[in-house]
A and B are shown apart, each in its own frame.
Chain A
Amino acid sequence: MINRAANRQANRIFLRACIGTGIALPLLVALPHALSVYWQSVLVLFTINAVSLMGYRLITTMGGWSFAHISTAGLGAYTTAILTTLETPWSFWATFFLGALIAGAFAMIIAYPVLRTRHYYFFLSTFAAGEALRQCYVQFSGITGGTYGISFIPRPEPILGMDFGNSVGFYYLALALAVVVGLLLYRFDLSRLGHTIKAVAANEELSESIGINTWALRTLPFVMGSVVAGFSGVLYANFNGLINPLDFSAVLMFKLVAAAIVGGITTFWGPLVGLLYLTALEEVFRDFTQWIPLLWGVSVLGVILLAEGGLEMVIIRLLRRARRWWRSRGDRPPNGARQRR
Chain B
Amino acid sequence: MQIVANIIFLSTFYVSFAVGLALVFGVMRTINFAHGEFYMFGGYALWLLINAFTGILPPGATFIVALIVAAGVVGVMGILVQLSIFHRLREQPFSIFMATLGLSYVLQVAVVKAIGPMGQSVPAPFPGFILFEGMVLPIQRLVVFGFTVVMMGGLYLFLMHTDLGRAVRATAQNRTGAMLQGISMNHIALTTMFVGSALAAISGVLMGSVLIISPFMGGEALWRAFIIIIVGGIGSLSGAVVAAFLFGIIDTLMTTFGAGKFAPMVDAIIMLLVLSFLPSGLLGARE
Interface residues of chain A, those whose CB is within 8 Å of chain B, are 65, 110, 112-114, 116-117, 119-121, 123-125, 127-129, 131-133, 135-136, 139-141, 250-251, 254, 257-258, 261, 290-291, 293-294, 296-301, 304-305
**Contact between B268 and A114, CB atoms less than 8 A apart:** no
Instruction: Answer whether residue B177 sits at the interface, using C-beta atoms and an 8 A cutoff.
Output: no
The interface residues of chain A lying within 8 Å CB-to-CB of B101 are: 254, 257, 297, 300
The interface residues of chain A lying within 8 Å CB-to-CB of B104 are: 297
Do most interface residues of chain A lie in helix, strand or loop, or is the interface mixed? helix
The interface residues of chain B lying within 8 Å CB-to-CB of A141 are: 261
The interface residues of chain A lying within 8 Å CB-to-CB of B95 are: 304
**Contact between B99 and A129, CB atoms less than 8 A apart:** no
Complex CA distance for A139 and B262, rounded to whole angstroms: 7
**Contact between A297 and B106, CB atoms less than 8 A apart:** yes
Whose C-beta in chain B lies nearest to the C-beta of A290? B112
Instruction: Answer whether residue B272 sits at the interface, using C-beta atoms and an 8 A cutoff.
Output: yes
**Contact between B102 and A140, CB atoms less than 8 A apart:** no
Given A113-B276, A258-B102, are A128 and B113 also a contact pair (CB < 8 Å)? no
Interface bits B193-213 vs A (CB < 8 Å: 1, else 0): 000000000000000000000
- 4 additional contacts, CB 8 Å, given A296-B102, A300-B99? A113-B275, A117-B275, A139-B260, A254-B101
Whose C-beta in chain B lies nearest to the C-beta of A123? B97
**Contact between A290 and B113, CB atoms less than 8 A apart:** yes
**Choice from B89, B94, B267 contacting A132 with Cβ under 8 Å:** B267
Q: Which stretch of B9-17, B67-75, B162-170, B226-234 is in the interface?
A: B226-234
The interface residues of chain A lying within 8 Å CB-to-CB of B268 are: 128-129, 132-133
A-B contacts, 30 listed (Cβ < 8 Å): A114-B272, A116-B275, A120-B25, A120-B30, A120-B94, A121-B230, A121-B275, A123-B31, A124-B234, A125-B271, A125-B275, A132-B264, A132-B267, A139-B262, A254-B105, A257-B101, A290-B109, A290-B113, A290-B117, A291-B109, A291-B113, A293-B106, A293-B108, A293-B109, A294-B110, A298-B102, A300-B98, A301-B99, A304-B95, A305-B85
Instruction: Answer whether residue B88 sits at the interface, using C-beta atoms and an 8 A cutoff.
Output: yes
**Contact between B265 and A132, CB atoms less than 8 A apart:** yes
The interface residues of chain B lying within 8 Å CB-to-CB of A123 are: 31, 97
**Choice from B226, B260, B273 contacting A124 with Cβ under 8 Å:** B226
Interface size on B, residues (CB 8 A): 47
**Contact between A128 and B230, CB atoms less than 8 A apart:** yes
Complex CA distance for A65 and B103, rounded to whole angstroms: 18
List 9 tightest A-B contacts by C-beta distance, closest first.
A132-B268, A135-B264, A300-B102, A139-B261, A294-B109, A297-B105, A131-B223, A297-B102, A113-B275
**Contact between B97 and A120, CB atoms less than 8 A apart:** yes
**Contact between B109 and A120, CB atoms less than 8 A apart:** no
Complex CA distance for A62 and B104, rounded to whole angstroms: 26
**Contact between A127 and B106, CB atoms less than 8 A apart:** no
Complex CA distance for A134 and B225, rounded to whole angstroms: 16
Given A257-B101, A293-B105, A296-B102, are A124 and B230 also a contact pair (CB < 8 Å)? yes
Whole-angstrom distance from the CB of B114 to the nearest CB of chain A?
Answer: 11
The interface residues of chain B lying within 8 Å CB-to-CB of A117 are: 275, 279
The A-contacting residues of B in range 93-148, CB under 8 angstroms, are 93-95, 97-99, 101-106, 108-110, 112-113, 117
Whose C-beta in chain B lies nearest to the C-beta of A291? B109
**Contact between B219 and A304, CB atoms less than 8 A apart:** no
Complex CA distance for A284 and B95, rounded to whole angstroms: 27
The A-contacting residues of B in range 219-271, CB under 8 angstroms, are 219, 223-224, 226-227, 229-230, 234, 260-265, 267-268, 271
Whole-angstrom distance from the CB of A223 to the nearest CB of chain B?
Answer: 16
The interface residues of chain A lying within 8 Å CB-to-CB of B109 are: 290-291, 293-294, 297
**Choice from B94, B97, B219, B272 contacting A129 with Cβ under 8 Å:** B272
**Choice from A124, A251, A305 contacting B88 with Cβ under 8 Å:** A305
Whose C-beta in chain A lies nearest to the C-beta of B219? A250
**Contact between B267 and A304, CB atoms less than 8 A apart:** no
Whole-angstrom distance from the CB of B224 to the nearest CB of chain A?
Answer: 8
Complex CA distance for A117 and B106, rounded to whole angstroms: 29
